[in-house]
Amino acid sequence: MKILIVGQGISALTCAKLLLLNGWQVQIMSTSSYSKPTLVLNPMTYNLLQNIWSIDLTAISYQFSRRKVLWAEDLITHDNGGYTIEGDTLQKYLMQNLHSFHHKDISTQKHQGKLDFNHLLKTRANKNFWFINASGREKKTSNNTHTTNSYGNRLIVSFNVKLRKESETCWTETTKNAWFFLAPSTKKTGVLQIMLPKPNSNFKELIEETIFIKDQIESYYITAKFKAFPQISFPLYGKNWSSLGEAAMCFDPLCGDGTGYAIKEALLTTAIISSIAKGIPFEDCLNHYKYRLCKTFIVHIQNSLEYYMKAFTSSIWQLEIQSMKKIIHHPEYHKAINYNFNYTLVGNQDLKQIEISKNTPLTKKKNDKL
Ligand SMILES: Cc1cc2nc3c(=O)[nH]c(=O)nc-3n(C[C@H](O)[C@H](O)[C@H](O)COP(=O)(O)OP(=O)(O)OC[C@H]3O[C@@H](n4cnc5c(N)ncnc54)[C@H](O)[C@@H]3O)c2cc1C
């Protein structure tokens, strides 16, 4: 079986790397890329990425040592820092790695315009292909069999900033209108992201409403706007394909670990493909994948809701909150919450034999009480 991955973001490239390490041949289908947000990675995700890729990201990232969070009325200081890294730089770095170390087993193909995903599935249906749709949130694909469930309308406006003084602190702060995230990207510069429930271009006034963040910034200019509401697409898999990364689920950047989730999905995708090839029933594998993703997504929405309900009371934010509460009406909600996971991911230590394996039932010890 050959693997065709549509997309060239972190989820696509990491999945390609894992599949190559597990002995698969991979073809990557890419299209002109759009600009990626600057990422802040927590130490766990940063290390996971370095381990999977056997790389050192020091040269392309900036390490900060502290986080300060003013969420509603609560001010918390954490001594767990993180790493700021340009999404576009990381993507290029990973792509180069694939071409340098796996040129015999990987091929890339570029296409222009929209990709007809259904046509692609039909034309290669008999050729023993597995497709991974990792085309991101802004999928440039026409796909009339998918529905996307979105939970809100909010967006992030991103700025490059010059800092007033050298900083090793990453700030998160809420006002009544928005939440703000300021991470240093060098000693004197940083990236500011403002999460808004609807477009608003009066950034000066918005920043002035903050208590801490306004004092950190000397000057700023806007770089990009991103949709930033959570969403999940259904179906998540079909007969010979599965969705991955933001093409499957988009997380609210509030969670701060979209990349971590994308990498874990890439691990699970690799395990699922290897397990199907080894004879584990297709439906077992893909249901496990689907409900792992659904459950993660539901928990993510529930956590986000708690934070948003605490910080925002305006009517426009209430619409966002109501929209997230819709998750409990989704037909898969109860199935995902109650799903009995019979398999466990194994082999993710040495990364060369990743698969899912049936849980062994817990053996009852002699004196165990019921
Ligand atoms: C504003 C914002 C801030 C974020 N901040 C953080 C953060 O601080 N930390 C963190 O961990 N995560 C963060 N995330 C999440 C993170 O960006 C994603 O989880 C991560 O990039 C994984 O994305 P992906 O590879 O699934 O999709 P993408 O990065 O979107 O990649 C998809 C790729 O597929 C390509 N493509 C699209 N259509 C086609 C097609 N038809 N054919 C071929 N290729 C196609 C696109 O060009 C693109 O390159 C943030 C997200 C947003 C929106």
Domain ranges of the chain: 2-152+229-338
- What is residue 32's predicted lDDT score, i.e. its pLDDT? 77
Measured from the CB, is residue 8 less than 6 Å from ligand 1? Answer: yes
**Whole-model pTM?**
0.94
Measured from the CB, is residue 264 less than 6 Å from ligand 1? Answer: no
- What is residue 364's predicted lDDT score, i.e. its pLDDT? 53
- What is residue 363's predicted lDDT score, i.e. its pLDDT? 55
CA-based nearest residue to 134, from 56, 22, 18: 18
Enumerate helices (H) and strands (E) in the chain, giving the number of each. 10, 23
Q: How confident is the model at residue 140 (pLDDT cuts 50, 70, 90)?
A: low
Measured from the CB, is residue 170 less than 6 Å from ligand 1? Answer: no
Measured from the CB, is residue 94 less than 6 Å from ligand 1? Answer: no
- Which CATH number applies to 2-152+229-338? 3.50.50.60
Output phi, psi for 182, to 5 deg: -125, 115
Pull the structure tokens for residue 284: 């077992």
Best mutation site among 140, 141, 194, 257 for ligand 1, i.e. most ligand atoms within 8 A of its Cβ? 140
Instruction: Give the Cα separation of 332 and 173 in Å (integer).
Output: 34
Helix (H, G, I), strand (E, B) or coil at 237: strand
Pull the structure tokens for residue 365: 């010890």
Best mutation site among 10, 32, 159 for ligand 1, i.e. most ligand atoms within 8 A of its Cβ? 10
Whether 369 shows a pLDDT value over 50: the answer reads no
> 205-252, pLDDT tens digit by residue?
999 999 999 999 999 999 999 999 999 999 999 988 999 999 999 999
Amino acid in the structure at residue 284: D
Query: 313 C-alpha to center of ligand 1: Å?
Result: 30
Atom of ligand 1 lying closest to residue 227 CA: 53
Strand order in the sheet with 179-184: 74-78, 66-71, 169-174, 179-184, 189-196, 155-163, 217-227
Measured from the CB, is residue 252 less than 6 Å from ligand 1? Answer: no
Instruction: Give the Cα separation of 314 and 321 in Å (integer).
Output: 10
Q: Are 324 and 247 in contact (CB under 8 A)?
A: no
Instruction: Give the Cα separation of 229 and 151 in Å (integer).
Output: 6
H or E stretch at 161: strand 155-163
Alpha carbon nearest to ligand 1 atom 37, residue? 135
Alpha carbon nearest to ligand 1 atom 30, residue? 136
Measured from the CB, is residue 82 less than 6 Å from ligand 1? Answer: no
List helix spans (H) across the chain.
10-21, 43-53, 87-101, 117-123, 203-208, 213-216, 258-277, 282-311, 315-325, 333-338
Measured from the CB, is residue 37 less than 6 Å from ligand 1? Answer: yes
CA angle 154, 155, 158 (to 5 degrees): 155
**Block residue for tokens 């056997």:** 54
- What is residue 137's predicted lDDT score, i.e. its pLDDT? 87
**Number of neighbouring beta carbons within 10 Å of residue 240:** 17
Instruction: Give the Cα separation of 98 and 20 in Å (integer).
Output: 9
Best mutation site among 4, 5, 11, 297 for ligand 1, i.e. most ligand atoms within 8 A of its Cβ? 11
Measured from the CB, is residue 266 less than 6 Å from ligand 1? Answer: no
Q: Are 17 and 94 in contact (CB under 8 A)?
A: yes
Query: 75 C-alpha to center of ligand 1: Å?
Result: 30
Query: 141 C-alpha to center of ligand 1: Å?
Result: 15
H or E stretch at 368: none
Best mutation site among 31, 35, 42, 172 for ligand 1, i.e. most ligand atoms within 8 A of its Cβ? 31
Q: Which residue has the higher pLDDT, 126 or 53?
A: 53
Output phi, psi for 249, to 5 deg: -140, 135
**Number of neighbouring beta carbons within 10 Å of residue 212:** 16
Measured from the CB, is residue 246 less than 6 Å from ligand 1? Answer: yes
Percentage with pLDDT > 90 across the chain: 80
Highest-confidence range of 110-114, 153-157, 197-201, 332-336, by mean pLDDT? 153-157
Amino acid in the structure at residue 363: T
Length of the chain: 370
Best mutation site among 94, 135, 241 for ligand 1, i.e. most ligand atoms within 8 A of its Cβ? 135
Output phi, psi for 294, to 5 deg: -60, -45
Instruction: Give the Cα separation of 154 and 252 in Å (integer).
Output: 9
Instruction: Give the Cα separation of 259 and 257 in Å (integer).
Output: 5
Amino acid in the structure at residue 258: G
Q: What is the CA radius of gyration of the chain?
A: 21
Measured from the CB, is residue 136 less than 6 Å from ligand 1? Answer: yes
Amino acid in the structure at residue 328: I
Q: Are 76 and 68 in contact (CB under 8 A)?
A: yes
Q: How confident is the model at residue 118 (pLDDT cuts 50, 70, 90)?
A: confident
Query: 33 C-alpha to center of ligand 1: Å?
Result: 10
Amino acid in the structure at residue 326: K
- What is residue 90's predicted lDDT score, i.e. its pLDDT? 97
- What is residue 121's predicted lDDT score, i.e. its pLDDT? 82
Pull the structure tokens for residue 361: 């039932």
